[in-house]
Structure 1
Amino acid sequence: MSAKHTAPDATPPSSAPAEEFPLVLKRVAIDTWRENVAYLHRDCALYRAEGFQALAKVEVRANGRRILATLNVVDDTGIVGCKEIGLSEDAFAQLGVHDGHAARISQAPLASSIPALRRKIAGERLDRDDFGAIVHDIAGHRYSKIELTAFVVACNQGELDREEVYYLTDAMASVGQRLDWHERPVVDKHCIGGIPGNRTSMLVVPIVAAHGMLCPKTSSRAITSPAGTADTMEVLANVELPMGHLSDLVRAHRGCLAWGGTAALSPADDVLISVERPLSVDSAGQMVASILSKKIAAGSTHLVLDIPVGPTAKVRSMPEAQKLRRLFQYVASQINLTLDVVITDGRQPIGRGIGPVLEARDVMQVLENDPAAPNDLRQKALRLAGRMLEFDPDVRGGDGFAIARDILESGRALAKMDAIIQAQGAKPFDHHAPQVARQHFEVVASAAGTVVGIDNLQIARIARLAGAPKVQGAGVDLCAKLGDVVRSGQPLYRVYADYASDLDFARRASAEDTGYVIGAADAMPHVFVEF
């Protein structure tokens, strides 16, 4: 026979409404990644009186604010007591209160867009109002993880037509903050991702800003990659900037390289990403809506979009790239965004460093016109910057590359980058002696020959196992690229890690698959790309 444990502060059941039972807020130090979670003790009077169910949506009110959260029911008073309501880190921050503040909780009404969601699950086509309602509910945290997953999978299985992608994009851009810089053009550059290194934005922004064009670059942190632009820029300067400071900085310097999380741009996208990434779902329609909604919300009027193509890139063939390009172009035309889509070589990482510190080293080498700078990163950045410069009505078509090269070689790009770094709050960094992680090992060629293949996914995986981007100095430093002739035992790359466990994980992964293919020169894959 067993006895049920009753917490010492348990209160008897009551039929009184929830409004009569204010609870005490408690911060529960759990990072729930873009999801508001509330914690209620099973023996709480409200839990029994109101008929709450685990994983149901509840409304929490405090300090004149309200949030919707997913309810977790606990039996341990060490987490929350019977007169407390616990909130995860994200949820607690949104209420803007301190531990111990009074709060009230009630059942949340069913999201009004659920009928539209059910129709999408059934394979029906949705209209503008349907997507508007769904996105409004997603941004308001009215959907549970199960409902979010159902929406993502339904949109992935029954591919959205181009009008649906436009409706989704427009709805996502309309929810949350929308910036207006009160001038044209406002230029930006974006890559669809999947290529390690590839830190071209940190070169393009200072080149374009030095020319005088407005380029307020807000970027994401890495989710599944070894570094995002914000992670790498954070090695050099602060990236979490209040909107007021960011606006002043952009006006003064014509550009920035900041984390976009503080701007609340297209907040529904952030919620959807929290489901898409664990599922490895990245359908064309959702990709287009995610990228373009963020750009429109950020106030961009002109965008250069980079679609890398390669055997281990997100896009594996030219027909697939052309199809994706047409979808981007259609949606951009509907939302009045001037778009230039560039299909680039995605057969291998761009640059040598993979991880925040190593990528920052590459960027600064290019800006300083260091002979040791990775030429592929330099050339790609110049070509992308050239395309952006041609948005300037005073620049003749075809002249952009030469102008970008002159800005870089003259030192104007470096001066602009230094000014942006100082304005954002510079951090000490010496690219001649970067602070890489303390431990390392080398992966060497098992045979002589030519490097004919580099697996982007495997190299990125090894860099993440080594600790990147959380450990800024961790990652992979490439010693050989496609087409290089290597001898047996020659280093292909070095792996840096701060912790022995991370080093061991990365070593095991590289032992299973180095990510390199050594063979005859004529076995190297060719792709037909624009550059």
Structure 2
Amino acid sequence: MSLGSHSVMQGDNTLRAWRTGIDTYQEFVVYMRRDCPACRSEGFTTQARVLLSAAGQRSIVATLSVVEAEWLSSGDAGLSESAWAALGAQPGEPITVSHAPPLYSLSHVRAKVYGHKLGDTEFAEVISDVAAGRYSDLHLATFVTACAGDRLDLAETVSLTKAMIAAGDRIDWGRQPVVDKHCVGGLPGNRTTLLVVPIVAACGLTIPKTSSRAITSPAGTADTMEVLAPVDLDIASMRRAVERTGACIVWGGSVRLSPADDVLIRVERPLDLDSEGQLVASVLSKKAAAGSTHVLIDLPVGRTAKVRSEAAATSLGRRLQEVGAAIGLHVSLRLTDGEQPVGRGIGPALEARDVLAVLQGAANAPDDLRQRALCLAGDILEMGGVVPAGSGLTLANQVLADGRAWARFQDICAAQGGMREIPVAPHRQAVDAHASGRIVSVDNRVLARAAKLAGAPTAPAAGIDVHARLGEYVEKGQALFTLHSQAPGELAYAMSYVASRPPIFQISPTGESQ
């Protein structure tokens, strides 16, 4: 059935806008019939880049998919969900369709493909077009691949970082220092940000934290915080929260800070390409854009974490510090244990539960999460000049123990729209030890995958509760972890995945690594 039933509009390149309801994961896509006037007159074919213009000078560049079926009228242009939102069209509104202007910055991408080095001007032109939505996903994938591996040297990484900062907004807080932290990731349950921020803010430092949502993990910091309070704040609301409390924990996608990074991440993750240069540019561009002057980077090191060895952590840390210095950021590092999950919960609600337990001083609060957060907070307090070197951990401990951190966290939640109740999953099933012995390794990646199959982070109450730790002795049949799901089908799917894999927890009767 056609989306529209009116006669074809006047003008070969004028069509009616219709919302298709198709999710193309943020890529702008337009659907047009092969026999529509615009395709015939302009010679459009599938994968063409076309300029869509609506009233009031609104326009976007989209990738064309040609339709042969009858569900779309020859007088209509069907827009994907992301294209519909970006163009801001109304149903049936006339839009003009024309060839997109040529992208001269693609010559720089081609040069990079052939091994040439790019400078400030070239990266600025590429990133400007990326941020403006002028690149198709094919173009983006080419650029990401050309820069992957070791193909960005220090100078190029600095140029890319500067270009990504310049392509978006930049906040000036009118004060110094402004502190921040970032974890390079790869470790389930490592939700220290929600503890570090209130501890640091309670000591008088300014810490405006913009965080990401999960793309390939069971929960991002923004997903976990959203269980407890709104995170979808604009810059004005973010400013108000920081003025009231000295801090915020918001979703970075709701503020236009380093917007090109959000676009690049969209294609980096499915490609699963590791790129030290792009990681550094991604992290530091967002910190600089958020107005930070001092940043602490948490580098978890483990066999199934993102950073696999101390040598890799040292290399990445050096690059972070060198690029930070080049753009005016003071970067400090802390290498942490990445061999097993942090805390007990994996997934937004379960991680939020752990965070509140630590903040409230509950007897059953996970001590590894507490200690890791205290160390990071202590580093930031020293970095920000609140206490002399060596005294940060003591102050952080005091602020958490006497309730100041919990009080400040409640203030932050109130400033962002109010604290929420944590949801609980109705469906659960334990996974038991296959043998008696000592736990000698944990596969973080497979554990995270199981939590995702259980529904996390889309279903916020879904995930995994971990009951056993490295080095502990377990009996055969003892519960190692429990899957939580909001739907029985997802629970069965996750359980089937776990059963099909080698044991996530490796158990040795002798206690020696296998």
Counterpart residue number, 2:67: 74
C-alpha distance in structure 2 between counterparts of 1:168 and 1:112, whole Å: 18
Instruction: Read off the aligned partner of 2:490 and give its amino acid letter.
Output: D
Counterpart residue number, 1:455: 443
C-alpha distance in structure 2 between counterparts of 1:234 and 1:155, whole Å: 33
**TM-score normalised to structure 1 length:** 0.93
C-alpha distance in structure 2 between counterparts of 1:514 and 1:469, whole Å: 23
By how many angstroms is 1:90 displaced?
Answer: 1.6
Inter-CA distance 365–170: structure 2 relative to 1 (3 Å threshold): same
**Cα contact 1:458–1:514 (8 A) shared by 2:** no
By how many angstroms is 1:473 displaced?
Answer: 0.9
C-alpha distance in structure 2 between counterparts of 1:417 and 1:8, whole Å: 55
After TM superposition, what 4+ stretches of structure 1 lie above 3 angstroms from structure 2? Answer: 7-12
1:506 and 2:499 aligned: no
C-alpha distance in structure 2 between counterparts of 1:155 and 1:279, whole Å: 13
Matching of residues 408-423 of structure 1 within 5 Å = 408-423=400-415
**Cα contact 2:14–2:38 (8 A) shared by 1:** no
Equivalent residue in structure 1 for 2:36, among 40, 44, 54: 44
By how many angstroms is 1:9 displaced?
Answer: 6.1
Counterpart residue number, 1:26: 18
C-alpha distance in structure 2 between counterparts of 1:61 and 1:181, whole Å: 37
Instruction: Read off the aligned partner of 1:295 and give its amino acid letter.
Output: K
C-alpha distance in structure 2 between counterparts of 1:435 and 1:59, whole Å: 44
Matching of residues 291-440 of structure 1 within 5 Å = 291-429=283-421, 435-440=423-428
Instruction: Read off the aligned partner of 2:59 and give its amino acid letter.
Output: R
Counterpart residue number, 2:259: 267
**Cα contact 1:233–1:239 (8 A) shared by 2:** yes
What SS is found at the alignment partner of 1:190?
strand
C-alpha distance in structure 1 between counterparts of 2:78 and 2:386, whole Å: 58
C-alpha distance in structure 1 between counterparts of 2:51 and 2:314, whole Å: 46
Equivalent residue in structure 1 for 2:86, among 90, 94, 99: 94
By how many angstroms is 1:521 displaced?
Answer: 6.5
Inter-CA distance 135–375: structure 2 relative to 1 (3 Å threshold): same
RMSD after superposition: 1.8
**Cα contact 2:439–2:511 (8 A) shared by 1:** no
Instruction: Read off the aligned partner of 1:156 and give its amino acid letter.
Output: A
Matching of residues 158-177 of structure 1 within 5 Å = 159-177=151-169
Matching of residues 467-478 of structure 1 within 5 Å = 467-478=455-466
**Cα contact 2:150–2:276 (8 A) shared by 1:** no
1:124 and 2:116 aligned: yes
What SS is found at the alignment partner of 2:383?
coil
Matching of residues 93-112 of structure 1 within 5 Å = 93-112=85-104
C-alpha distance in structure 1 between counterparts of 2:69 and 2:179, whole Å: 53
Instruction: Describe the superposition over 1:325-381 as per-residue Cα deviations: whole angstroms up to 9, x where unpaired.
Output: 111111001000011011110001111000111000000000001110000000000
Instruction: Describe the superposition over 1:429-458 as per-residue Cα deviations: whole angstroms up to 9, x where unpaired.
Output: 2xxxx5321111111111111111011101
What SS is found at the alignment partner of 2:25?
coil
C-alpha distance in structure 2 between counterparts of 1:248 and 1:81, whole Å: 48
Gaps of 5+ in 1: 526-531
C-alpha distance in structure 2 between counterparts of 1:470 and 1:149, whole Å: 26
C-alpha distance in structure 1 between counterparts of 2:465 and 2:264, whole Å: 33
Instruction: Read off the aligned partner of 1:513 and give its amino acid letter.
Output: P
Identity %: 47
What SS is found at the alignment partner of 2:213?
coil
**TM-score normalised to structure 2 length:** 0.96
Inter-CA distance 157–228: structure 2 relative to 1 (3 Å threshold): closer
Instruction: Read off the aligned partner of 2:502 and give its amino acid letter.
Output: D
What SS is found at the alignment partner of 1:523?
coil
C-alpha distance in structure 2 between counterparts of 1:427 and 1:214, whole Å: 21
C-alpha distance in structure 1 between counterparts of 2:92 and 2:354, whole Å: 48
1:229 and 2:218 aligned: no
1:200 and 2:200 aligned: no
Q: How many residues are paired up? A: 510
C-alpha distance in structure 1 between counterparts of 2:18 and 2:205, whole Å: 48
Counterpart residue number, 1:156: 148
C-alpha distance in structure 1 between counterparts of 2:474 and 2:356, whole Å: 28
C-alpha distance in structure 2 between counterparts of 1:157 and 1:259, whole Å: 28
Counterpart residue number, 1:523: 512
Instruction: Read off the aligned partner of 1:74 and give its amino acid letter.
Output: V
By how many angstroms is 1:11 displaced?
Answer: 5.2
Q: 502-511 vs 304-313, which deviates more?
A: 502-511
Instruction: Describe the superposition over 1:97-123 as per-residue Cα deviations: whole angstroms up to 9, x where unpaired.
Output: 322222111100221111111111111
Inter-CA distance 122–299: structure 2 relative to 1 (3 Å threshold): same
Gaps of 5+ in 2: none
C-alpha distance in structure 2 between counterparts of 1:465 and 1:138, whole Å: 32
What SS is found at the alignment partner of 2:208?
strand
Inter-CA distance 354–82: structure 2 relative to 1 (3 Å threshold): same
By how many angstroms is 1:77 displaced?
Answer: 4.0
C-alpha distance in structure 1 between counterparts of 2:67 and 2:503, whole Å: 45
By how many angstroms is 1:157 displaced?
Answer: 4.6
**Cα contact 1:10–1:82 (8 A) shared by 2:** no
By how many angstroms is 1:242 displaced?
Answer: 2.5
What SS is found at the alignment partner of 2:307?
coil
**Cα contact 1:32–1:89 (8 A) shared by 2:** yes
1:212 and 2:166 aligned: no
By how many angstroms is 1:183 displaced?
Answer: 1.0
Q: 135-144 vs 335-344, which deviates more?
A: 135-144
Equivalent residue in structure 1 for 2:272, among 280, 283, 295: 280
Instruction: Read off the aligned partner of 2:223 and give its amino acid letter.
Output: D
Inter-CA distance 113–476: structure 2 relative to 1 (3 Å threshold): same
